Structure 1
Amino acid sequence: MAQFPRDEVESAFRRYFLTGPVGEDWAAWSRLFTEDATYNDHFWGTFHGQAEIQQFLEGTMSFAAHVYSPLVWYNIDGSHIVYKVLNRADNPEPGGEPIEFPSLQVIQYAGDGRFSSEDDWWTVAEMKLFNQRYTAARERAGDRARDPLSRLDWGTWVDWARPPEGHQPKPSWVGKDVPPIASLRDMTFGVRHPRPAR
């Protein structure tokens, strides 16, 4: 496996995180993967290459427009980076606490500013509880509900991993005909993982 200077890996990761989770430019973010990259989400499935990765991210994120991802910590070990984010939504009720659940990502740096893989891990039960809490809060807020694209609290954990002051979110799926992905039934590409017998 090729070895890269830590400064190079760190710089590439910062660009990666600022382009995707912070800037929400999932089209540009997908191009930070190699052409033969593998993106594995333990729930949604495995996606190959830049086009599938972009389709997956824009489809799932357009359905969950209220979700953004502050960076809690990251660790670089050679060409591997492990990082934790909070999948966060600003509470639709003004004054309410953010609603969130954690996830862990492992990515592999491949050189030339690109990544060859990402693996995402999160707990389905926590995601379902997140959805229930958000839906209930939105119903309670009614006409007072916050804009789903508000991104009010990027945390205090990693100072560079947040947008600049005055940033107005405009995810790359806005204004495009992107079919939202709400469930596994909507997934017409990639490879599904076998589900354990109940």
Structure 2
Amino acid sequence: MNQRWTKDELNEAFELHAATVAGAAASGDWEPFVQLFLPDATYVDPMVGVMRGHEQIRPWVTATLGTFPGSAMHYPEAWHLVDPERGRIVCELRNVLRDPGDGSTFEENNISILEYAGDGRFRSERDVYDSAAMVKLIESWGRRSAELGTLDEEERAWFSGAYPHILQPSDG
């Protein structure tokens, strides 16, 4: 890529990305997020692998972040860096599950590498995170939420299939 972007343009693109993610997490509508990417963009997720284009990104993001447990998360920025020469943005996003009811915080980080395409759109995103830690995070949050009685019906149904042991009363 010989195109060079200014720091300001990359920072504005990142702010648009962050605002779009926050809006999608709040509304449950992930289509604006899909539209941040070029139609032939590449998205890489550690658990899913490589997705190419809107037609692969859309069903993944809708199923993963638009439904529980992804729908119980929000994704505030910890930090970001821009590389104008390469047109890249590297950021750390916090994957934060909602308060289980006692004020505690359950979160894991995610490093994302975004390749900018211009006009507020991206040609690729690569997420880097510890998938085992993410699975453990969800289980721990579910256990605490079950203890506090704050899981709704949909969440209880999900946990009964994924982690039925956390819904069982302890023998202790």
Name the TM tier (shorter chain): 0.7 to 0.9
Give the drift of 1:115.
Answer: 0.3
Higher relative contact order (CA 8 A, sep 6+): 1
The partner residue of 1:77 within 83, 89, 92 is: 83
Scaled by the length of structure 1, the TM-score of the pair is: 0.68
> Are the equivalent residues in 2 in contact too, given 1:30–1:51 (CA < 8 A)?
no
Runs of 4+ in 1 over 6 A off after TM superposition: none
What is aligned with 1:153?
Answer: none
Matched, 1:88 2:92: no
Equivalent position amino acid for 1:69 in 2? Y
Name the structure where strand makes up a greater proportion of residues: 2
Give the drift of 1:97.
Answer: 1.0
What is aligned with 2:68?
Answer: 63
Name the structure where helix makes up a greater proportion of residues: 2
Equivalent position amino acid for 1:32 in 2? L
The partner residue of 1:113 within 120, 128, 140 is: 120
Percent identity, aligned pairs only, is 30
Secondary structure, in 3 states, of the residue corresponding to 1:91?
Answer: coil
Unaligned runs of 5+ in 1: 148-181, 184-198
CA RMSD of aligned residues (A): 2.0
What is aligned with 2:156?
Answer: none
Deviations 1:4-33 (A, max 9, x none): 12211211111111012x101420111111
What is aligned with 1:23?
Answer: 23
The number of residues matched between the two structures is 146
User: CA–CA distance in 1 between the matches of 2:137 and 2:38?
Assistant: 33
Secondary structure, in 3 states, of the residue corresponding to 1:133?
Answer: helix
Secondary structure, in 3 states, of the residue corresponding to 2:73?
Answer: coil
Secondary structure, in 3 states, of the residue corresponding to 2:57?
Answer: helix
Q: Which has the larger radius of gyration?
A: 2
The partner residue of 1:102 within 77, 86, 109 is: 109
> Are the equivalent residues in 2 in contact too, given 1:36–1:49 (CA < 8 A)?
yes
> Are the equivalent residues in 2 in contact too, given 1:104–1:120 (CA < 8 A)?
yes
> Are the equivalent residues in 1 in contact too, given 2:95–2:108 (CA < 8 A)?
yes
Give the drift of 1:146.
Answer: 7.0
